Structure 1
Amino acid sequence: MIRGFSRRRFMTVSAAVTGVATLDVAGTLRPAAAADRAGDWSGGHSENGWPVLDTAQSFDIEGSDQKVPLAGADAAAALTHVARRFHYEIDSLRDGDVHGWTKDHAVTQAYESNHLSGSAIAVRPLCYPAGSRGNLYPNELVVVRDILAELDGVVAWGGDFKTPKESHFEIATTPGHPKLKGVARKIRRWNSGPGSEGAGATDAFNPERRSAARSLRTG
């Protein structure tokens, strides 16, 4: 297991970065990120179309002693699964590592508004800030790609955005989307099962899983 505060994690990269287009869950081409927008977010919905919340329920990140406030139900199932796999397969989560819903409307990028709706998390945002790319070790990147493939494109990763933020994970569907509901059901089945599936029981380096991760990325 690689600890979280190495020199590499604070490495910055050139401001000249190349944007990568990704596919949304409907299979249509989606910009790597929405137009950058700094300042106070004033809309009633966050950048991904979820309603801005006044409060949010806290959810356990299983396997750790951490909690994170989120929109609830299906979004929470998907995002806590991301955090749980980070905890098991990349590094143990500590107090303050995972940021979810916030009432602070100040954003540096439009996608950060998704915290206002409880439909995004940031895992160690100080280690992986906006605008910095290449902070993950190769084995860690394999795990992240495997998580995204396992969640069937329902969660998008900030490392793929035009202005990257490798700590950022967001729900990439609208509320109530059938694909999100299906992924949430799958995660709940894993959580209630005998422990042979889901976080802590996966091998991200399995050739078939790596092939699935590459397929999702390339579309």
Structure 2
Amino acid sequence: MLAQAEARKRQLVPGWNTPNGWAAENMANAGGTIWTREVASTAVVLTVRDDEPRAVLEYVVQRFNAEVHSLNATDAVGFDPATRGRGALANLASGTAVNILPGFYPRGGGDEMYDHEVRTVQDILRGCAGLVGWGGEARPRSQGFFYLQVPPGSRLLKDWVAKRREDREHLGIPAVGRPLGV
């Protein structure tokens, strides 16, 4: 039984960490930590790492949807096990990044956002208290790319998520979207 569990874990977790320190996974919705869920208050269905990373990335998607551009179900892409390397894009393999409107904000693109949209994204990032990096400030540029830039166990991450959950509970807002099929 233990041998089967270990074999399953090796199949699910390839044994390397993404640049932000989180473990990469090979599959979503397979008993690991990466799951597909609806993002509350949006039409977006997103696959990312559960718990704290989900809370932060959903916050980014929710605010982007409300303040920059209204998003459809498939307009935000999270987990991608095929991304590897040392750059921030590899964080998709650990489910700790999201690419919003990747066709509209391509990697290596220019300045697709208007100035007021850039200011709004910068405000969203301020709301994340340093937890999230933005591809609009990276080379190559990708203005729709957001990623956790703190490692697992970060006190800043834990505190931010606890405060956000407290605020949402006070307002009667669900902490995260429903799992698919529920």
Please give the TM-score of this superposition, normalised by the length of structure 2: 0.78
Larger fraction in helix? 2
Q: Is this contact kept in 1: 2:84–2:93, CA < 8 A?
A: no
Alignment of 1:67-216 (within 5 A): 67-105=45-83, 110-194=87-171
* Amino acid across the alignment from 2:122: R
Map of 1:51 onto structure 2? 23
Q: What value does the CA root-mean-square deviation take over the aligned residues?
A: 2.0
Q: Is this contact kept in 2: 1:47–1:111, CA < 8 A?
A: yes
Give me the whole-angstrom Cα distance separating, in 2, the residues matched to 1:167 and 1:43: 28
Alignment of 1:31-50 (within 5 A): 44-50=16-22
Relative contact order higher in (CA < 8 Å, ≥ 6 apart): 1
Alignment gaps of 5+ in structure 1: 1-41, 197-219
Q: Is this contact kept in 2: 1:81–1:187, CA < 8 A?
A: no
Partner SS for 1:79: helix
Query: 1:195–1:149: structure 2 CA closer, same or farther, 3 Å change rule?
Result: farther
Q: Deviations over 1:78-105 (max 9, x none)?
A: 0000000011111211132000012223
Give me the whole-angstrom Cα distance separating, in 1, the residues matched to 2:60 and 2:129: 12
Q: Deviations over 1:1-35 (max 9, x none)?
A: xxxxxxxxxxxxxxxxxxxxxxxxxxxxxxxxxxx
1:106 Cα deviation after fit: 5.9
Partner SS for 1:193: helix
Query: After TM superposition, where is structure 1 displaced by more than 3 Å over at least 4 residues in a row?
Result: none
Number of equivalences: 154
Alignment gaps of 5+ in structure 2: 1-13, 29-33, 174-182
Identity %: 27
Please give the TM-score of this superposition, normalised by the length of structure 1: 0.65
